[in-house]
Amino acid sequence: MSGGDGLRLLRAADRGATPWKNGGGVTREIAARPEGAGTGDFAWRVSLAEVAADGPFSSFPGVDRTLTLAEGAGMDLAVAGVRHLVDERFAPRDFAGDEPTDCRLLDGPVVNFNVMYRRSETRAQTAVVRGVLALAVPPGETLLIVALDGPAVLHRTGDGGPGPGSGSGSGAGRVEELAPYDAALLTGGPDLILRTAGRAAVVRFGPAPTVDTLSE
């Protein structure tokens, strides 16, 4: 689907791996805003991290994180001295990126789906879904879909494609298939239907809430 439709495909095969300075793993960036931003100046950044050894996580001042275990037995995290057992796959966990965090692997390497966002600029909501889900992108928001477990298919609504209650189908309504760890970035355009027999992450980004909104 073309960029003019407000949807951009981000294939897993096109991503490079960035080794960690401590040698404990590698990161593969899926998307970031501003595009091409580094670790010190992103508004939000989404990546897959392959963790191969115990050790500390990097600190990101002013950043909140949502971590989802995608592969492996899990981790025992200590965030600011508080234990967080991450041993359930596809269950998003929120924690502050500027708190000191140490990681101990439970039983071998893991792959984590990481969402990081600067809390003064952006809000992010992460869900892991399976089955059929209608997707819309209101003005000012961005949606990122990542196939975590098995393929996913995106369909247009209103052009002869399958609706949320129909069978698997194919044809005119089919937009694109996402292989495992492929992603789709939505910045507008027509409403879509996400269909997956496995699990897909859906991350919705929008402006950070104002002080007045928080106080209501």
pLDDT digits (tens, 9 = 90+) for 94-140: 999 999 999 999 999 999 999 999 999 999 999 999 999 999 999 99
Alpha-carbon span 113 to 149, nearest angstrom: 12
Alpha-carbon span 124 to 64, nearest angstrom: 9
Q: Report which residue type is found at 79.
A: V
pLDDT digits (tens, 9 = 90+) for 57-91: 989 999 999 999 999 999 999 999 999 999 999 99
Residue 69 burial (C-beta neighbours within 10 Å; 0-12, 13-18, 19+): buried
Task: List where CATH 2.60.120.10 sits in the chain.
Answer: 13-118, 122-207
**Angstrom distances, CA of residue 89 to CA of 46, 70, 83, 128, 189:** 18, 6, 18, 10, 32
Torsion, Cα 198 52 38 6, to 10 degrees, reads -10
Q: Quick one: pLDDT band at residue 53, thresholds 50, 70, 90? A: very high
Torsion, Cα 146 38 138 135, to 10 degrees, reads 0
Q: Quick one: pLDDT band at residue 161, thresholds 50, 70, 90? A: very low
Alpha-carbon span 146 to 209, nearest angstrom: 25
* CATH, range 13-118: 2.60.120.10
- Ramachandran category for residue 186: left, alpha or beta (phi over 0 → left; psi -120 to 50 → alpha): beta
Which of the pair, 6 or 12, is modelled with greater confidence? 12
Name the CATH superfamily for 122-207: Jelly Rolls (2.60.120.10)
Alpha-carbon span 40 to 9, nearest angstrom: 25
The token pair that represents 30 in the structure block: 């899926």
- Is residue 202 within 8 A of residue 145, CB to CB? The reply is yes
What is residue 164's predicted lDDT score, i.e. its pLDDT? Answer: 45
Alpha-carbon span 123 to 106, nearest angstrom: 31
